[in-house]
Chains A and B, each alone.
Chain A
Amino acid sequence: MATLSQALPVTAPKRRIAPPRIPWEIILFSLPALAVVFGLFIMPFIYGLDLSTHTLDSKGAIQDGRSLDNYTTFFNDQSQIDTIVMTFQVALPVTLFNVVLSLPLAYAMRRGIRFERFITALLILPITLGTVLVAQAMLIYFGRQGWFNQTLQAIGLIHDPLRLVHNWLGVEIALFIQGFPFVFLMILGYMSGISPDLEKASKMLGAGRWRTFWSVIFPLMLPGVAIAFCLNFVANFTVFPSAMLVGEPNALTRVMSIAAYRAAYEQQNTPYGTAIALIMGGIEFLVVALVLYLRSRMARSASLGAGKGA
């Protein structure tokens, strides 16, 4: 279809090279969307940055003077430093698990499987249900007397019910249920974009299944894996409802989003809450930048360039 329209002279007058000026219609057409991003996204960021440099006086009113007090308070407070550690402890394991589990599964499914539509529909179910419902359902299902423990006891795998909610593990399970389908479908997308010819060629040249996966498929998958990892990590890093409902919001799952929310809404200290939210965003940015840097280095060493993005 695209090739036909390119061949016809009808579209020929359209310049293929970017014109020197940006035409007015492009500016006009993208203006509303840009206005939304600027007004409701970039503006709040600037506003938040400004707000976070103010402190509250004893009456709770925002003072005029600017300082970095909110930031120094945060980094001098051991309990807040612990929050950062806890957030990593919550976000990192489940993200790695999602990626590591998705890779072989996507590899097995790369040529299509039976009931594909049905299975993917069931997989995206938790995404559409949302975090709050999954957490609420987990409280019953994974509870001491829930079906999960009942089943394990009936099989005889365990004697006493496992404690699967109201702790670190509960948050991990909640994040897994939410994140795994997302990571899996993303990695499947990348995996399916790798030409089967490469695999055939590798086999023909004498490589076994295992070697083919590690020397051919995996290097080509790395850029996709990096992106999936980043997106999932960012989502897991700001976990909020799950950490409150199925975690221990006062102890081991007191993640940064909870600290930010409590400062801003429960203690009415919006400048401090905003500062925590911005620190959270900053740390996330650093992690993503690190992963993308590693990705670019690895991609250079394995630049076969037959991946989906080629």
Chain B
Amino acid sequence: MASQTITSGVTPTLTTRSKRQGAWWRFLTRDTFWGSLLFYAVIGFFVINIVALVATVVIDSFAFSWFKTILPTQFVTHWYPDLSQDHDMSQLLLNTFVVALGATGIALLIGFPAAYVLARKEFRLKGLLMAVLMLPMLIPSLVYGIPLATMLIRMGLGGSLIGVILANIVPTTPFVILILTPFIEQVDTALESASRMLGAGRFRTFRRVLLPLVLPGMLTAGILAVVRTIALFELTYLVATTGESQTLVTALYGDATGAGIRAHQLISAMAVVYMLTTMSLVIVALFFVKPTQFVVRLKAK
């Protein structure tokens, strides 16, 4: 019983969970009162601070000045146009999207066949293959980032978008494989076999049967990878040695470390631009992905 529930729960859509029913105050019943209280207090405190953290940046970016008051006394909008004095904003946005979409696109192309093999085939050394492919996710980017950046710079790719994309493929590929594998596992092998029996070739079966069925998985992996790549700082920072190859996150970091020479509202405005870019994608992502979908709940017998 238990093992069946686990295997069915691994597939992304078939999560099991106990539905709570009854009146809304049921969560404060005696059985779980202290647990719930503790839970909502701590998580509530955390979440309120996160929301306030984000809100301060947004408010600050519209402030004329902001000292010792709850809200700024005067609101202005000129910090946003002022951004273009320091940065070529259209170039930064373009770079950000080119790098994120480029790295994700390549990672999807490379990762799909590998995920297919991991999901469908049984073979010798499968565990080893899995371990090797997941290695870049387990080792933090700064450890391999410095040698990798040095190597790319030696090859003449430092400060170029190609170099930045190449560096970002490294952690993105295992990430994509990790998300795609359960989606492919979920597709019934009988469908592919049926397609082959009805005379479709390998490629046709892939295009007409497998691909449409794993498209949601590709979309999920793609959006999550794009969001992750936009926020991924270290690798881009180490490889993007020129102004032309900067992305939003490295430009934001550069502004923040040189904080003494520019108004903090200007940095906040930059942060808001960056935030809007990621958040718009996150909101799109949340339509497709449930953050707790990998959380498997077992029902009591």
**Interface, chain A (partner B; CB < 8 A):** 1-2, 4-5, 8, 10-11, 15-20, 22-23, 25-26, 28-30, 32-37, 40-41, 43-45, 47-48, 51, 101, 104-105, 107-114, 116-117, 119-141, 145-148, 150, 177, 180, 185, 188-189, 192-197, 200, 231, 234-235, 237-238, 240-241, 244-245, 257, 260-261, 264-265, 270, 273-274, 277-278, 280-281, 284, 306, 308, 310
Q: What are 20 sample pairs from A and B whose C-beta atoms fall under 8 A apart? A: A4-B188, A5-B190, A10-B194, A11-B189, A34-B129, A36-B110, A43-B151, A114-B20, A120-B292, A131-B231, A137-B54, A140-B60, A180-B46, A188-B292, A189-B295, A189-B296, A196-B298, A264-B146, A264-B150, A274-B146
**Beta-carbon contact of B18 and A146 below 8 Å:** no
A261 CA to B253 CA, complexed, in Å: 15
Cβ of B228: which chain A residues have Cβ within 8 Å of it? 128
Q: Which 9 A-B pairs have the closest CB atoms?
A: A48-B147, A130-B231, A108-B35, A29-B113, A33-B114, A281-B143, A196-B300, A44-B148, A238-B140
**Beta-carbon contact of A132 and B193 below 8 Å:** no
Interface string of B249-266 (1 = CB under 8 A from A): 100110011010000100
A135 CA to B274 CA, complexed, in Å: 14
Q: Which residue of A lies closest to B292 (CB)?
A: A120
Cβ of B231: which chain A residues have Cβ within 8 Å of it? 127-131, 133
**Beta-carbon contact of B140 and A278 below 8 Å:** no
Cβ of A185: which chain B residues have Cβ within 8 Å of it? 291-292, 295
- Min Cβ gap A19→B in Å is 7
**Beta-carbon contact of B39 and A109 below 8 Å:** yes
A121 CA to B256 CA, complexed, in Å: 27
Q: Does B218 contact A (CB under 8 A)?
A: no
- Min Cβ gap A290→B in Å is 16
Q: Does B105 contact A (CB under 8 A)?
A: no
Report which residue of A128, A139, A264 has the largest number of chain B beta carbons within 10 angstroms of its beta carbon.
A128
Q: Does B288 contact A (CB under 8 A)?
A: no
Cβ of B50: which chain A residues have Cβ within 8 Å of it? 122, 125-126, 177
Interface string of B283-296 (1 = CB under 8 A from A): 00010001110111
Selected from B129, B194, B299, the residue in CB contact (under 8 A) with A196 is B299
**Beta-carbon contact of A140 and B56 below 8 Å:** yes
Q: Does B77 contact A (CB under 8 A)?
A: no
Q: Does B80 contact A (CB under 8 A)?
A: no
Q: Which residue of A lies closest to B35 (CB)?
A: A108
Cβ of B297: which chain A residues have Cβ within 8 Å of it? 110-112, 192
Cβ of A30: which chain B residues have Cβ within 8 Å of it? 113-114, 117, 129, 133
Number of B residues with CB within 8 Å of any CB on chain A: 113
Cβ of B64: which chain A residues have Cβ within 8 Å of it? none
Cβ of B76: which chain A residues have Cβ within 8 Å of it? none
A278 CA to B139 CA, complexed, in Å: 11
**Beta-carbon contact of A141 and B140 below 8 Å:** no
A8 CA to B60 CA, complexed, in Å: 63
A148 CA to B234 CA, complexed, in Å: 29
Selected from A15, A113, A129, A200, the residue in CB contact (under 8 A) with B278 is A129
Q: Which residue of B lies closest to A237 (CB)?
A: B140
Report which residue of B122, B177, B253, B274 has the largest number of chain A beta carbons within 10 angstroms of its beta carbon.
B253
**Beta-carbon contact of B70 and A125 below 8 Å:** no
**Beta-carbon contact of A277 and B190 below 8 Å:** no
A8 CA to B197 CA, complexed, in Å: 14
Cβ of A188: which chain B residues have Cβ within 8 Å of it? 292, 295
**Beta-carbon contact of B173 and A197 below 8 Å:** no
Q: Does B7 contact A (CB under 8 A)?
A: yes
Cβ of A10: which chain B residues have Cβ within 8 Å of it? 189-190, 193-194, 197
Report which residue of A1, A110, A194, A237 has the largest number of chain B beta carbons within 10 angstroms of its beta carbon.
A1
Report which residue of A17, A26, A135, A139 has the largest number of chain B beta carbons within 10 angstroms of its beta carbon.
A26
Report which residue of A17, A130, A134, A180 has the largest number of chain B beta carbons within 10 angstroms of its beta carbon.
A130
- Min Cβ gap B20→A in Å is 7
- Interface set, chain B 59-93, CB cutoff 8 A to A: 60, 66-68, 70
**Beta-carbon contact of B2 and A195 below 8 Å:** yes
Known: A128-B231, A147-B70. 7 other contacts (CB 8 A): A33-B177, A41-B135, A41-B148, A136-B57, A140-B56, A192-B295, A200-B300
- Min Cβ gap A266→B in Å is 12
- Interface set, chain B 212-261, CB cutoff 8 A to A: 227-228, 230-234, 238, 249, 252-253, 256-257, 259
Interface string of B138-172 (1 = CB under 8 A from A): 11111111111011000000000000001101100
Selected from B6, B60, B173, B253, the residue in CB contact (under 8 A) with A36 is B173
Q: Which residue of B lies closest to A10 (CB)?
A: B193
A35 CA to B300 CA, complexed, in Å: 46
Selected from A108, A127, A133, the residue in CB contact (under 8 A) with B38 is A108
Interface string of B1-25 (1 = CB under 8 A from A): 0110011100100000111100010
Q: Does B132 contact A (CB under 8 A)?
A: yes
- Interface set, chain B 98-151, CB cutoff 8 A to A: 109-111, 113-114, 116-117, 121-126, 129, 132-133, 135-136, 138-148, 150-151
